[in-house]
Amino acid sequence: MDIISENRCFGGVQGVYKHPSKATGGDMTFGLFLPEEAEDHPVPVLWYLSGLTCSHENAMVKAGAQAWAAEQGIALVFPDTSPRGPGVADDDAYDLGQGAGFYVNATENPWAPHFRMWDYVADELPRLITGDFNIDEGRQSITGHSMGGHGALTLAMSLPGRYRSVSAFSPICHPTDSEWGRKQLRAYLGDEAAAWAAHDATLLMRENGLDIPLLVDQGTSDQFLDLLMPEALAEAVNARRVPANLRLQKGYDHSYFFVSTFIEDHVNFHAEALYE
């Protein structure tokens, strides 16, 4: 693993690291914030999954999460959103290909050789960070924004026992019924809609429910609101009678101004579960 950078940050260290990935078949870059407590003992970790067009850097720089994570003694992981490089398939559209991995394992060409972001985020990167850094493997939570919110919700509902809590900012809630989802799931997983269901938070909620704390924030002025379909997730939560805090934030859009406004709430929400 190569150290790209390490900077002192709120008493801890914000690092950026690159490593060869078996899951994606190339080099991957991620950000990791370690609070000061990690110098003495393993600390709990909060995963932050980013959205379309983003890399590991967007939330790391714009969300302002490190201040609140340092206050709570929590590590933050910022994975990339897709494999990258000259040998990796791409598309001219911003919502497919590099920067748009959708946190699935692609089965269709030309994506299948590298686009295995589910395996990367669910298996490979957790093993790496818990093996090489002072991270408590037994205390993990997950959050994300937009496409990353979709990833956070589907991972949490598909890996029972892995995370202690899950939250999301303006997540893609029902991708099998949205143009932010149907296009990408068809490209990565093929034409059979049955293969898509495992990556739809609304369908997973209807089928399995959720047994860990859930917080979702959605701006009412989000320019992509019709594509995100938060009402579908809310209906599924109510149908399963799952305790959840689903909040509509008046006047907020889809940007990191929205995320940074409410990131303190999310970090504190996860800290309560991680230190329970």
Catalytic site residues? 146, 222, 254
**184 Cβ contact list (under 8 Å, min separation 6):** 95, 96, 100, 102, 175
**181-212 as b/e: b if 16+ CB within 10 A:** bebbbbbbbeeeeebbebbbbbbbbbeeebeb
**86 Cβ contact list (under 8 Å, min separation 6):** none
- Report helix angle 65-72 to 256-274, nearest 10: 10
Q: Measuring CA to CA, which residue among 149, 139, 276, 261 is closest to residue 214?
A: 149
The answer, yes or no, to whether the previous bond of 110 is cis (omega within 30 of 0) is: yes
